[in-house]
Chains A and B, each alone.
Chain A
């Protein structure tokens, strides 16, 4: 195996990828899975009764999934512009 004098130094804390970014990604992924399914079950049980109840519940779940995507897009763009201001200073 190559000795440590020839291998490059591996950084465990990357300053360009701070922890807050990873937490936001994990949180959005978690909500992406949990929120639409729980919205579907909740609305189909309590809100939408009748013939097309499951259809409306599924459409609301799809709407919530798109809302999570939208919130992630906004978060990613705000972080990016935050980094640019930091680098300029």
Chain B
């Protein structure tokens, strides 16, 4: 019964929190894996420093997707009195923001981890053999598209959800 009587605000704000939170977890995870590998490999092969920042930028793009979606979702929040809040349209907005946030958050989380592990291996392979970097970059581009999928589906889920509006 608690789930049925939970406020749409709970669902909406929880979704926004998961969206940005999980995206940043994915981006941070990727950046620390890649960053430590670049720094370790650059001890013996300093030339890898500049080119391997591409992997860091790919991980950061994942966090930017999360920020964009959190801003898009939070634009639907309005201040509604609690007696006018429980309309079907507001319930739909709450649920849509919750599941849209989970979609975007988890897609960005695993995209960030994938790009991070690939980027760290790319740095170490580049330190050994410079010709390998361009080929591993293709793998990273494919991994980075996963975050874009999450963004598109999150937008499709919440595209029709209106702002919170008072009952008429």
* Cβ of B96 under 8 Å from chain A: no
Number of A-B contacts (CB under 8 A): 72
Q: Establish whether residues A55 and B61, one from each chain, have CB atoms under 8 Å apart when the complex forms.
A: no
| A73, B75: Cα distance in complex, Å | 33
* CB-based contact B51/A58 at 8 Å: no
Q: Take A32-B64, A54-B72, A62-B148 as given contacts and tell me if A79 and B50 are in contact as well, using a CB distance cutoff of 8 Å.
A: yes
Label chain A's interface by main secondary structure.
helix
Closest to B48 in A: A80
Q: Which of A37, A57, A59, A66 contacts B61 (CB 8 A)?
A: A66
Alpha-carbon distance between A25 and B38 when the two chains are bound, in angstroms: 15
B57 touches A17 (CB 8 A): no
Asked if A27 lies at the interface with its beta carbon under 8 angstroms from chain B, I say no
A89 contacts chain B at the CB level, 8 A cutoff: no
B-side contacts of A25, CB under 8 Å = 53
Question: Judging by beta carbons under 8 Å apart, are B155 and A59 in contact?
Answer: yes
* Bound-complex Cα distance A69 to B47 (A): 21
Residue positions of A touching B, CB distance < 8 A: 16-17, 21, 25, 28-29, 32-33, 36-37, 40, 51-52, 54-55, 57-59, 61-62, 65-66, 69, 72-73, 76-77, 79-80, 83
